[in-house]
Amino acid sequence: MSRVGLAPVEVPQGVEVTIGDNNLVTVKGPLGELTQEIKGEIAVEMKDGSLELSRANDQKQTRAYHGLYRSLINNMVEGVSKGYEKKLELVGVGYRAEAKGQQLELSLGFSHNVVFLLPGEIKVETLTERGKNPIVTLKSHDKQLIGQVCAKIRSLRKPEPYKGKGIRFVGEQIRRKAGKSASK
């Protein structure tokens, strides 16, 4: 059985946590501010510079919420203090990426370029070196938002198993398949 919910969430220097009415937890730090509403069965308390979560009963759903909200609050604290970064790699002949403010212009082998509008909380950088695949770096303080945006960008051209072309995370291993000629 998991004991994630029982572990306290350490609050680093420079991060301010407020617990409002209706169990609304707000975390402010040098990189931004995030809020999360907590279900009524879970109580959040500040003790000695760390947050502790406790549950009202031992029902299955309440135990699941206990670990979930502890992880969400921990991700919020880490996000506003350190931030999150994800890197995407464009693998394919002629694939290019260019950042223009909050717009990401991608050339993915379609008849036209794809322009992807990014939320204001996300900062984007592109790196194109000769002889290497273009890399798109996304940075944000919100882990859930950056993961959702990366998944949306990746869905524009998923990596295919035969040639390996597409958008993938840096370091991601794609399972390759043998082509038609290998079956004979």
Give the pLDDT of the chain (184 residues) as one tens digit per residue: 568 889 999 999 999 999 988 889 999 999 999 999 998 789 999 998 899 999 989 899 999 999 999 999 999 999 999 999 999 999 999 999 999 999 999 999 999 999 999 999 999 999 999 999 999 999 999 999 999 999 999 999 999 999 989 999 999 999 999 888 755 5
CA distance 113 to 109: 8
**Residue 182 covered by a domain:** no
Question: Residue 46 belongs to a domain with what CATH number?
Answer: 3.90.930.12
Tell me the backbone φ, ψ of residue 143, rounded to 5 degrees.
Answer: -65, -40
Q: Are residues 58 and 119 in the same domain?
A: no
Q: Which amino acid is at 34?
A: L
The answer to whether 145 and 122 are in contact (CB under 8 A) is: yes
Q: Which of 30, 14, 147 is nearest to 80 (CA)?
A: 30
> Does residue 41 fall inside a structural domain?
yes
Q: Are residues 77 and 96 in the same domain?
A: no
For residue 169, which of 158, 183, 180 has the smallest C-alpha distance?
Answer: 158
Cα 11 to its chain centre, rounded Å, is 20
Q: CA 80 to CA 54: how far, in whole Å? A: 23
Same domain, yes or no: 40 and 89: no
Let me know if residue 97 belongs to a domain: yes
Q: Final residue of a domain: which of 81, 114, 143?
A: 81
Is the same domain home to 41 and 94?
no
* Dist. CA 143–CA 59, nearest whole Å: 28
pTM flag (> 0.85): yes
Domain that holds residue 59: 4-81
- Say if residue 168 is in the same domain as residue 103: yes
